[in-house]
Amino acid sequence: MGALLRKYPTAGAFDPFAPGFARMWQDSAGTTPVTAYGQPVGRLQSLGGAVTFIQPTTTSRPTLQANGLVFDGTDDGMYSAINVDLSGTDKLTVAAGIYKTSDSARGMLLEHRAGSSAASYWFVHAPSAAGAGNAQFSSSGAFAAATAAINLGVVISGVSNMSGPTASIWRNGTLIATSATAQSGGAYTSDVMFLGRRNNATLPFNGYISRFAWFPVLLAAADLRTLEQWVALPMGLSIP
C-alpha cells in the first residue's frame, strides 16, 4: 500500500487502526489526540497528510471503536477541510471497509460533489434506499450495486471511467456489477468530500467505516487487489 501511495501522492487513504491512533484527534482543530477507543474523532488525516476530514460539532463526531469509526445513523458525519481536487481526471478507484448496523435508511458513506443531481460526482452509499440490503457505487449518473447485509463486514470497491463509460462495484475482491451508462460532465471536479453524511446534513450512514481510500486513476488489477487487501486486513477478511 505504501508503494501505491508513493506512486499516486494525490490519493486519499485513511486508517482508523494506525498505531498509536495516529492522525486522529478528538477535536476538529487537532489539539487533543485520540488516545483510546470510545473517544470522538473530530479530525482525521490521510496517511499522506494531503486530506483532512473534520467535524466541528461535538455531537456529530463519529466515535472510534475497535471495528473502526462508528457513525450513528442520526447526525454523525465529517467533511474535508478543503476541497479535494479531482479535476483533470475522469477515472477513479475507491475502496472502503464497511459494517452496516442498520438497513432502515439510505446512508451516504463517502461522497464527492454532494447532491449528485449534477454531473461529475461520485459516491458510495449503503444502503442505496431503505431496506435495499446493498451498497452502491455511483458516478455521474451511472450506478452499480452489490448485496451487502447488515452486521457483516465487507470491502466495497468502486471503479469508474467516465469516458469508458464504465462504473463497476466490487465486493470482497470480486467484480459484482458494471454499468455502461453514459456519464456526464467529462471529468471530476475540485469539491468538498463528505464522509458518513451528505453535505454534513442528511442521509446519515449507520455503521462502522474501517480503512478507506480513493485514487484518481483506474488502478491496475494487481494494485486494486493490493488496495482491497489493505482495507480487508483489520476486518479479518481474506482477499486472495
Partner 1 sequence: MSYVYRTLIVPAALVEDVRALVVALAGPPADGMLTVGLSATGTAPATHYISTGAIDAMFAAAVASPEGMHAACAAAGLGVSPAQCTAILSASHVVDLDSEEAAQTLLRLGLRPITEDTDQQPA
Chain residues in the site for partner 1 (CB under 8 A): 26-28, 32, 39-40, 56-61, 63, 72-76, 102, 105-106, 115-117, 128-129, 141, 143, 200-204
125 phi/psi in degrees, rounded to 5? -130, 155
Q: Smallest distance, Å, CB 144 to partner 1?
A: 9
**Under 8 Å between Cβ of 43 and 66:** no
Return the bridge partners of 213, or none. Answer: 13, 95
Helix, coil or strand: residue 19: helix
Q: Smallest distance, Å, CB 201 to partner 1?
A: 7
- Whichever of 32 and 147 has its CB closer to partner 1, that residue is 32
- Whichever of 97 and 141 has its CB closer to partner 1, that residue is 141
Please give the distance of CA 12 from its chain centroid, rounded to a whole number: 10
Please give the distance of CA 98 from its chain centroid, rounded to a whole number: 9
Return the bridge partners of 207, or none. Answer: 71, 100
- Whichever of 46 and 52 has its CB closer to partner 1, that residue is 52
Q: Smallest distance, Å, CB 186 to partner 1?
A: 18
- Whichever of 124 and 219 has its CB closer to partner 1, that residue is 124
- Whichever of 46 and 206 has its CB closer to partner 1, that residue is 206
150 phi/psi in degrees, rounded to 5? -75, 160
- Whichever of 5 and 113 has its CB closer to partner 1, that residue is 113
Q: Smallest distance, Å, CB 74 to partner 1?
A: 5
Q: Smallest distance, Å, CB 129 to partner 1?
A: 7
Query: Distances from the Cα of 207 to the Cαs of 63, 103, 114, 121, 200, in angstroms?
Result: 11, 10, 20, 23, 16
Q: Smallest distance, Å, CB 239 to partner 1?
A: 27
**For residues 192 and 123, what is the distance between their CA atoms, to the nearest angstrom?**
12
Residue 192: Cβ within 10 Å count: 16
